[in-house]
Amino acid sequence: MADIVIVNPRFNTSFWGMEGCMDMLGKRANLPVACLPLLAALVPKHHQVTIVDENVEDIDFDRLGRADMVCVTGMSVQGDRLCEILREIRDRGVLAVVGGAMATVEPEELEGLADVIFIGEADVTFPQFIDDWERGCHSARYVQADKTNMASLPLPRLDLLKSDRYMFGSMQISRGCPFTCEFCDIIVTFGRKPRLKSVDQVLGELDAYHQAGVRIVFVVDDNLIGNKKAIKPILLEIEKWQKAHAYALTLFTEASLDLAEDDELMELLGRAGFQSVFIGIESPNEESLKETKKLQNVRERAGSLLDRIKRIQDRGLDVWCGMIVGFDNDTPDAFRVLPPFLDSARIANALIGLLHAIPTTPLYDRLKKEQRLNDAADSARYGTNVVPLGMSRNELRAGLVDVTREAYAPDAYFRRLDALFLQSGFQFAVHRLPYWRQHRGAWALSCIENYIMFAVLAGRLIRNVKSPQLRAKYRSQLSAAFRARPWEPQLLFTYAVKTAMHYHYTSITDALVSTGDGPLPAAVRSFSRTKSNAAMSLGNKAATS
């Protein structure tokens, strides 16, 4: 029996990481990367497996030094710490294995630091490697030739996670996306044909999270609705599971904007317990969307961007979004139009980032040919490796600072939040289902739990926020929310969570504004780099990650 340790390096503070408000939420990290328990499940049962996630616990390097093998996974945004960990392992003479998003898109950065490196998905090659290692004939590099058959994956070892230390759980239903966005490496790694798990696999993971006491699960698919026909039967089965468990899990996910064009799909998501959906809006500029081949966002017959966003909100799904500036068709005006666009869209949670060219993507290849890639020093200074066409690099950097400060000023943030939550009569789809009228006891229990969570979180915000101005603002906002929607504790708790998230965004904004002429903080580095790496194999979402 071998002692195998799987390690995930800590992340730097990031927009979605919620590090600035984790203490108030009583957790150490937002969610576990989905690859960790899946990799553990791929290890033969006669070996001992331990998961170490540095985001919720310190790494004991002496403990790693006693292992037979240490497997490290990570994204490019974790790159510096990932390399530090590999050096520590190498110095202790332990077999070092690495895979994931960074290993897939930047393998040259890891050469000489690991004994074995995995490129791409590793659901097949990782077990193959362990078998080779047991027989004393393993290779130094593994590249999986074919895409993983998702129906063949084992149930992730959620029992090895310290689930009580995370705000959310994470699970993956599908891989792949049918679209061709130039900046995205998802289709390069996972392909354009979405592959899905079976209903039994999905329900098995829901059972495991429910048994672990997890209440909120992020379905980390890069586009859950990439195959609409295939996902609909699964959503129906999730609805049945939710009814059998009194809607024990709140779900949220990522999807493309064409969700707004399918009424049945929006209804199914609501009935299955999905509360929020992250959508890559990217830009209000149609020419920029066409340039980057984000054609699913440019469909005249489907209505404008705002029409489609509001259509989704009207179906009881809260929209979060990503916005990117730095496309060739963008000028400095691209920053100025974003705050009013977000106001009109009523989207409180919007990540505004700079375009980043990830190795392996068509965008990277094009800009490399055009000699429009910054070196490492300039990438850190300007927040992206892309040399813009429609503005100077200084204008790009200054625009990001200004728009972040404007969009996340307290009044601006809560204006967007209140426009949807308090002024429009918005109600989450899952909370207005006929199910609750038929199960009054379950509804009462849910209300009591949410009242308590709202009160606890509101109290922490009012007591622990250091800034007197912010503390007063939060007290005013939470009081107004309670007065406006007193009989909807589920919405009130979500409002309190979004208030805590604003506190986190404030810390990021302050760090960004205070950088002066120095390198931009990692927390505000490119959206596209962070998002696409988040889904890569032996890295974050896939088992390969």
Residue 535 clears pLDDT 80, i.e. is over it: no
Kind of pairing between the strands at 195-196 and 174-175? antiparallel
Closest CA to 52 of 90, 65, 1, 202: 65
Three-class DSSP category at 298 = coil
Confidence of residue 519 (pLDDT cuts 50, 70, 90): confident
**Cα(316)–Cα(421) distance, integer angstroms:** 11
Q: How remote is the C-alpha of 152 from its chain's centroid? A: 24
Q: What is the pLDDT of residue 531?
A: 42
Token duo for residue 209: 């999270």
pLDDT tens track for 112-126: 999 999 999 999 999
**Weakest mean pLDDT among 187-191, 449-453, 463-467:** 187-191
Q: Which residues pair with 69 in a beta bridge?
A: 4, 95
Handedness of CA 81, 84, 89, 90 (dihedral sign): positive
**Cα(477)–Cα(126) distance, integer angstroms:** 50
Residue 370 clears pLDDT 90, i.e. is over it: yes
Written as one string, the DSSP assignment of 211-229 is HTT--EEEE--S-TTSSHH
First to last CA, the chain: 24
| Cβ neighbour number for residue 342 with a 10 Å cutoff | 25
| Cβ neighbour number for residue 142 with a 10 Å cutoff | 22
Q: Give the domain ranges of the chain.
A: 3-143
Q: What is the pLDDT of residue 231?
A: 98
Q: Which helix (H) or strand (E) holds 479?
A: helix 468-484
Backbone angle region of 417, left / alpha / beta, with phi > 0 → left and psi within -120 to 50 → alpha: alpha
In angstroms, what CA-CA distances link 239 with 256, 263, 445, 500? 21, 17, 19, 30
**Cα(292)–Cα(329) distance, integer angstroms:** 10
Residue 395 clears pLDDT 60, i.e. is over it: yes
Q: Which amino acid does the sequence have at 309? A: I
**Cα(227)–Cα(205) distance, integer angstroms:** 20
For 393-413, what is the mean pLDDT? 96
Please, what is the average pLDDT of the chain?
94
For 387-393, what is the mean pLDDT? 97
Helical spans, DSSP H, in 255-407: 263-271, 286-291, 305-314, 333-336, 338-345, 362-369, 376-382, 393-407
DSSP type of residue 13: P
**Cα(115)–Cα(95) distance, integer angstroms:** 6
Written as one string, the DSSP assignment of 231-297 is HHHHHHHHHHHHHHTTS--EEEEE--GGGGG-HHHHHHHHHTTEEEEEEEEE-S-HHHHHHTT-GGG
CATH dotted code for 3-143? 3.40.50.280
For 366-377, what is the mean pLDDT? 97
**Weakest mean pLDDT among 105-114, 312-321, 493-502:** 105-114
What percentage of the chain carries pLDDT values higher than 90? 90
pLDDT tens track for 335-349: 999 999 999 999 999
Tally of residues, the chain: 545
Token duo for residue 76: 């490019």
Q: What is the pLDDT of residue 439?
A: 98
Q: Which helix (H) or strand (E) holds 112?
A: none
Strands (E), 116-184: 116-119, 141-143, 169-171, 174-175
Q: What is the pLDDT of residue 533?
A: 34
Closest CA to 31 of 244, 188, 252: 252
Confidence of residue 438 (pLDDT cuts 50, 70, 90): very high
For 474-493, what is the mean pLDDT? 98
Helical spans, DSSP H, in 57-169: 61-65, 79-91, 101-105, 125-134
Confidence of residue 527 (pLDDT cuts 50, 70, 90): very low
Confidence of residue 538 (pLDDT cuts 50, 70, 90): very low
Cβ(139)–Cβ(132) below 8 Å: yes
Q: What is the pLDDT of residue 544?
A: 38
Residue 524 clears pLDDT 90, i.e. is over it: no
Residue 416 clears pLDDT 80, i.e. is over it: yes
For 462-490, what is the mean pLDDT? 97
Confidence of residue 314 (pLDDT cuts 50, 70, 90): very high
**Cα(522)–Cα(101) distance, integer angstroms:** 17
**Cα(67)–Cα(50) distance, integer angstroms:** 10
Residue 205 clears pLDDT 50, i.e. is over it: yes
Q: What is the pLDDT of residue 526?
A: 44
pLDDT tens track for 233-253: 999 999 999 999 999 999 999
Three-class DSSP category at 321 = strand
Confidence of residue 523 (pLDDT cuts 50, 70, 90): low
**Cα(222)–Cα(197) distance, integer angstroms:** 14
pLDDT tens track for 89-106: 999 999 999 999 999 989
Q: What is the pLDDT of residue 16?
A: 86
Q: What is the pLDDT of residue 15?
A: 87
**Cα(263)–Cα(323) distance, integer angstroms:** 25
Written as one string, the DSSP assignment of 28-76 is SBS---THHHHHHHHS-TTSEEEEEETTTS---HHHHHTSSEEEEE--G
Q: Which helix (H) or strand (E) holds 488?
A: none
